[in-house]
Structures are given as C-alpha cells and as structure tokens.
Chain A
Amino acid sequence: MKTFYYTLTIALLGSTGTTHAADTVTQNIDLTIPLVELIDVENISPTFDFSAPSNAGDGFAAPEGVTSSVAITSNNPNAQLDVHTSSNINGIDLKISSTSGICDSSTLSDRLSTAPQYCSVGKRQTSSGSLTISAEPSGGNGMIPYGTYSTDIIYTLTQN
C-alpha cells in the first residue's frame, strides 16, 4: 500500500512538465440581484377607544397602546423607513412608543404627524419586528373634542 502511494505522487508531478499549447479561457458570469424592499405591518386597523372621565376636572386617559408585528425584507443598505400620517387629529397625539427589530438607528420622534420621519433600516430580513402605536390627549390638557376620528399611518421603505 505504501509503495503505491509514492508511485502515484511521482506520476502526478511528472504530468505538470508536459508541454501544451497556450490556452486562456475567461468566463464572465453576470449575476443580477433585484432591489427588494418589502414591508408588512399586521393589524391594519387598530382601534383606540377613549374612556370618559367620571369626575369633573379630570381629563381623558390614554388608552392602551396597540402593538403590531412587522416583517421587512430589504437588500438596500441605504433603505430608510418613512412613517407619517395622512392627517393630523385635533386634540390627539399619535405616537410610536417603541420600534423593535426595525431600525438600525431610530431618529423617529415619538409624535407622528403628516411630516415624514425616517429611521435607518438598511439590509434587513425579519419577521419578528414590532412597533407600538399609542394615542393620547395633546397639550397636556387631557380634553379632546368628542367624535369618531380616522387617519392612516403610512409606512414606506425609501431607496435612499
């Protein structure tokens, strides 16, 4: 068995000394990776029901925040998440009180408005992100004109 091993080694070394005609081969391989920026926020219609105060002089308390799961697939290092509302509501502040697993460095102020706000998302693949939206009386007065209100929170992954 040992003898066979030495013999084979010599044979392989010898073969490298064989003369061949020059031959250059180049393969160009093109790979196309499409830009993908996908975001999905579950719970597309959260509701907030304020409870009336029971004593004169008391204000409305903030109802409990609503947490939604967030899935993101992004292969753009420069992707940012733009969050804004379709309209402002008189007397109510809408806030993002937490973003987990969504942003690299969040510059979102906690008060949402029609003005876009951004946080850095970059390359990310997650189905376990979450964000919490809360609603509370604005201005510290605790009083909100009665009625039923609706607004959209719009989430957009931007390319830069």
Chain B
Amino acid sequence: MRPRYYFGILLIAAGSTLALAGNTSQILKLTVPKVVLIDIDPAIPFSFAQGAKNASGNSLLSISSNDPQAKLQITPSGLNLAVTSEVLGCPTEASTTTIICKVGVTRTKGAVLAFNATQIGSAPNIVYTISD
C-alpha cells in the first residue's frame, strides 16, 4: 500500500463582535463681534425752495447690523418729518419728535430712504442715532 500523507491546514479568520472605540469629536467655538454700521448719504436729501414749506428727497441707505435689538433714531428739528424705507421698520406717520426705526440683523447697500418734510421752524436739521 502506497503511503499517502495529507497535511490539511484550515485557516479560519473569525471576525469578533468586539468593536473598539470608533468615534471622536471636535468642539468648535465661534465668536461673532457686534457690529452696527449705518450710512445715509446724503444726511439731508432735500431743501426748501424759496417760500416753500414742503420738500422731499431720497438718500442712499447702507447697513451692516448683526444686533437683533438695533434701532435707528431719526430726530428732526424744525421739521415735521416722515421717512419711508423697505429695509427699516419705520412708523408711517410724520413726526416732529424722534422717529424710531427697527434695524435688527440687516445688511443692505444703496437702499432708498425716502423723506417728506414740512418746515415748522428755523434751521431745520436731522440727527441720526443708533441705539439698542
């Protein structure tokens, strides 16, 4: 009888159910500074013709504001003033005292800020103030 030799090697690669840690994380920190920049050009876009009491005009309005509470106060002197803007939330009524327009988080460049003014005193003027 001829000898026969069988050398069998069975290789078994068994996957274990053991799972090693497969997760990690990064903690991101982001800082955004407060900014409220408003440019109105020109500041007073109207003038009164000789003997006239009413005038109107448009200014270009640019805003960079990231304060949800930001407001623009428009204070006329010697004027009954109405302002209109599609960007700002302004009251529609004309006023002789401070007009408060909501700015909030807004960015715009070259929007229209329309004025209608009635002169009620001497040396008419407009002062702009930004507030929270």
**Which A residues form the contact surface with B (CB < 8 A)?**
18-41, 43-60, 68, 74, 79, 86, 89, 91-92, 94, 133, 135, 141-159
Contact = CB atoms under 8 A, between A and B. Distances in A.
A46 B28 contact: yes
B52 interface: no
Interface in B92-132: 105-110
Interface string B46-83: 00000000000000001111111000000000000000
Interface in B1-53: 1, 3-35, 37-39
A142 B107 contact: yes
B10 A57 contact: no
B37 A55 contact: yes
A23 B5 contact: yes
A47 B17 contact: no
What bracket does the count of chain B residues touching chain A fall in? Answer: 35 or more
Given A34-B16, A44-B25, A52-B35, 7 more contacts: A35-B15, A48-B31, A50-B32, A57-B107, A58-B109, A68-B26, A152-B26
A144 B108 CA distance: 13
Interface of B: 1, 3-35, 37-39, 62-68, 105-110
Nearest to A58: B64
Given A30-B14, A57-B110, A146 B22 contact: no
Most chain A beta carbons < 10 A, residue from B14, B67, B107, B108 = B107
A53 B4 CA distance: 88
A147 B32 CA distance: 5
Contacts of B26: 41, 43-46, 68, 133, 152-153, 155
B65 A143 contact: yes
A37 B23 CA distance: 9
